Amino acid sequence: MRIVLHLLRKEFLQVFRNKGMLPIIFVAPVMQLLILVHAADFEVRNVHLIVSDMDGSSTSRGLIARFNASDRFHVDRIIGGFPEGMAAIDAGDADALLRIPAGFEADLRRKAHGDLMLDLNGVDGQFASLVLVYARAIIASEQVHIAQHMISGSRAPAPPVEVIPRFWYNLQMNYKNLMVPGLLVVLVTLVAMFLSSMNIVREKEIGTIEQLNVTPIKKWQFILGKLLPFWFIALFLLAFGLLIGKLAFDIPIEGNVLVLFAFAAIYLWVVLGVGLFISTISDTQQQGMFVSWFFLVIFVLLSGLFTSIDNMPHWAQKITWFNPVSYFVEVVRMVLLKGSGPAQIAKQFGIITLFAVVVNGLAVLNYRKRA
Amino acid sequence: MKTFRAFVKKEFLHIMRDRRTLLVLFGMPVAQIILFGYAINTEVQEAQVAVLDQSHDVRSQSLTNSFFASSYFVNAGPLQRAEDIEHVFKEGKTKLVIGIGPDFTKDLEEGHARIALIADASDPNVANILVSYASQMITKWVARDPTKRMPELVSVEHRLHYNPEMKSAFLFVPGVLTIVLMLVSAMLTSISIAREKEYGSMEVMLVSPLRPILIIVGKAVPYLILSLVNATFVFIVARALFHVPMNGSYLLLVLEGLLFIMTALSLGLLFSAMAKTQQTALMLSLFVLMMPTILLSGFIFPTSSMPWPLQVISNVMPAKHFIIILRGIMLKGVGLNVLWPQTLILTGMMLALLAISVKKFKVRLQ
């Protein structure tokens, strides 16, 4: 045990001696969290809508006013029709074009029916479908207004079925509540994986690994001494990030933080083990970092952080079973947002523990005390 | 000139020798495009939905069946009591609960039935889309009963332009191309120069008869060629696998690509002047370059939804302008008459960065 302590001391000295790395390890991730939470946001705001109002009636003006009143839409009116509107979408000045045809109000009066046309820039599919959801909601609420004011009561009955939506766990529909915990997971994973994957290979590259190999240090002592410092750093980063999330973004903490840290403690061994494994198969730091970058990108894309795993095809969902990041993203959201307890995350606990044992076993087996 | 050629050859050998890095450089963009094209789906499908039916009669059963007739919803099983809602949400699989009250049929006859749509809004967008889908299905179900039909006052027809099937590959291919160019040009260049410093071979080169400016150019040329080859490869894979459209001019695409590569190379040179070790160069490029590039360039998240300070920052990202250019040329088929502002901005950035990095490149190490 004393040998491990000496090794720990050496590693900590090396980490804290490097004045260039310290701010990168601690300050950069926090800055990222503060800044990127505002960026990593699928919430739809500031939609540039252009309206081509060929009707010019009080009804069409009422509809435009309702779009204007919504904080999601910036409305610009244009004189022309479809060609001018599409030109604006082509140039990227507008996201959507709403066309109100001439005779819209008259049709509503005579036939109790009017048509609207909405052209959307579909390059970003999710953005477009959310714009459609919001635009339909605004038009639907204006429709109730039109029915009350224009059409006599007998012809516009109240809807027979009233739908009452309830949004749980996130009443303000605040996207940050979802993204802060998820981004925190990614940042902690990133730091832990890069530091561990570049560590042993660095000793190889500089040549100091040979000196370590001729000492009586045992394999497990060496690896424990290598990984423990990063384990502490990553856990500290998680605590620090949670604190900032609470102070800066007031993210909800419904569940028990201790459950979260217990999970993180095991999860980090998986990440460090993967980093260690990469480190043992690499010859240079550049290789180590590119290979870990490769795995991280795939892990993060398939983690359900940005796009829900439920939307993926079945074969991709099966791949996510082997993705440790997806379990932590899931657990962090369950514990923080919904207050899930140990009983509800027992399955994830079991799987991640199994991963930790397998990955570290492989890494230790693969590490040979040879140059 | 002969020494210069030899120097470029040495750099090429360095690159070609490191098979693992090359494999990642060519394998990763392909893996990303395949994931974005096949796996990453922003459209909500097969969401787990549970029904809390307290009515248990023909009408409520018919409504329940109509929900699961579509591919959007999958039945997560019936719930017995209202207390179960919290339980299934905490387990995490169920995203929406449809609540039908005990007097549903009677209320429906009297024209004031109510249906509760209880959504797990920890992901607000998914919740919004699910509630919107469910409401539309309820409206359709009601419309099947002619006595209950409510005339639809205003109907909205919509059309999605450029990408009618909402394929995410179309959106992401320009982004992946940009990231690849950034990775090879900026990150690899800065790390390779930092490695020469770490190994001490930089001093050897600086005392060689080669002029410093030629050392910089010699470092940059191989990575420029590697970037071009890599980007062409990704482009061909994307075209072959996903039929990503190419509506604009190829010449313009290549020229704009070169402009962006030059910008990224200048950035890489600037970073290498700041970093002494590979690790620092790596962390710098990762946290100052890659993450902001991915997140602030409009690659995944639309810049228009960001708060204004971030929109200002995003304008400083060369990648943002390049992605606009790529999407413009490939998806919309527009030319320089539309894209001249972005081209001008990139040119300005490139010249400024190049000037700074050449000035900062130290002939002496200490």
Residues B21, B107 share a domain: no
Residues B7, B136 share a domain: no
Q: Which of B148, B182, B214 finishes a domain?
A: B148
Domain count, chain B: 2
Express each pLDDT in A60-111 by its tens digit. 888 888 888 888 888 887 777 788 888 888 777 788 889 888 888 888 888 7
Q: Which of B121, B148, B175 finishes a domain?
A: B148
- pLDDT for the residue A40: 66
Q: Do B153 and A147 touch (CB under 8 A)?
A: yes
- pLDDT for the residue B41: 67
Beta strands B154-161; A114-121: pairing state? parallel
Express each pLDDT in A301-336 by its tens digit. 888 887 778 778 888 888 889 999 999 998 998 888
**ipTM of this complex > 0.85?**
no
Residues B297, B335 share a domain: yes
Q: Do B117 and A285 touch (CB under 8 A)?
A: no
* Most confident stretch, B24-33, B249-258, B269-278: B249-258
Residues B68, B95 share a domain: yes
Catalogue all structural domains in chain A, each as residue range(s) with its CATH number: 2-41+171-366 (no CATH), 47-155 (3.40.1710.10)
Q: Do B162 and A137 touch (CB under 8 A)?
A: no
Give me the phi and psi of A167, to 5 degrees please: -110, 115
Nearest to B129 among A129, A316, A340 (CB): A129
* A:270-329 residues touching chain B, CB 8 A cutoff: 282-287, 289-291, 293-294, 297-298, 301-302, 306-308, 310-313, 316, 319
Task: Return mean pLDDT, chain A.
Answer: 82
Contacts of B299 in chain A (CB under 8 A): none
Contacts of B314 in chain A (CB under 8 A): 39
| Spatial CA neighbour of B174 closest among B229, B226, B246, B227 | B246
Residue B154 lies in a domain: no
Checking A238-241 for CB contacts under 8 A at 24+ apart, the result is A238/A184, A238/A188, A238/A264, A240/A26, A240/A30, A241/A29, A241/A30, A241/A33, A241/A184, A241/A187, A241/A188
Contacts of A92 in chain B (CB under 8 A): 324, 328
Residues B334, B212 share a domain: yes
Residue B287 lies in a domain: yes
Greater pLDDT, A204 or A159: A204
Residues B107, B172 share a domain: no
- State the Cα–Cα distance between residues B335 and B332, nearest whole angstrom: 9
Taking the CA of residue A9 and the nearest CA in chain B, the distance in Å comes to: 21
Residue B163 confidence class, pLDDT cut points 50, 70, 90: low
Residue B177 lies in a domain: yes
- pLDDT for the residue A261: 94
pTM over 0.90: no
Contacts of B64 in chain A (CB under 8 A): none
Residue B10 lies in a domain: yes
> Is pLDDT at B265 greater than 80 in this prediction?
yes
Residue reference for tokens 């959007």: B72
Residue A200 confidence class, pLDDT cut points 50, 70, 90: confident
- pLDDT for the residue B140: 79
Residues B247, B354 share a domain: yes
- pLDDT for the residue A264: 94
Q: Which domain holds residue B55?
A: 47-148
Q: Does residue A330 belong to the interface with chain B, where contact is any CB pair within 8 Å?
A: yes
Q: Does residue B338 belong to the interface with chain A, where contact is any CB pair within 8 Å?
A: yes
Q: Which of B99, B117, B148 finishes a domain?
A: B148
Nearest chain B alpha carbon to A94: B304
> Can you say whether the dihedral through the CA atoms of B29, B32, B37, B38 is positive or negative?
positive
- pLDDT for the residue B252: 92
Residues B348, B297 share a domain: yes
> Is pLDDT at A47 greater than 80 in this prediction?
yes
Contact yes or no for B194/B219 (Cβ under 8 A): no
Most B CBs within 10 Å, among A167, A259, A279, A281, to test the B interface:
A167
Express each pLDDT in A101-151 by its tens digit. 888 888 888 877 788 888 888 777 777 878 888 888 888 888 777 777 765
- pLDDT for the residue B346: 92
Q: What is the mean pLDDT of residues A170-197?
A: 83
Residues B301, B194 share a domain: yes
Q: What is the mean pLDDT of residues A346-355?
A: 92
Nearest to A158 among B27, B31, B111 (CB): B111
Greater pLDDT, B158 or B23: B23
* Most confident stretch, A50-59, A346-355, B133-142: A346-355
Residue B74 confidence class, pLDDT cut points 50, 70, 90: confident
Q: What is the mean pLDDT of residues A353-367?
A: 88
Most B CBs within 10 Å, among A123, A146, A148, A335, to test the B interface:
A123
Residue B157 lies in a domain: no
- pLDDT for the residue A239: 92
Nearest chain A alpha carbon to B111: A160
Residue A157 confidence class, pLDDT cut points 50, 70, 90: low
Q: Is B245 exposed, middle or buried (0-12, 13-18, 19+ CB in 10 A)?
A: middle
- pLDDT for the residue A235: 93
- pLDDT for the residue A328: 93
* Most confident stretch, A18-27, A150-159, B326-335: B326-335
Contacts of A155 in chain B (CB under 8 A): 151
A207 C-beta neighbours (distance < 10 Å), count: 9
- pLDDT for the residue B122: 80
Residues B353, B235 share a domain: yes
Residues B350, B220 share a domain: yes
Residues B226, B93 share a domain: no
Determine which helix (DSSP H) or strand (DSSP E) holds B97, and give its type and residue range.
Answer: strand B96-100
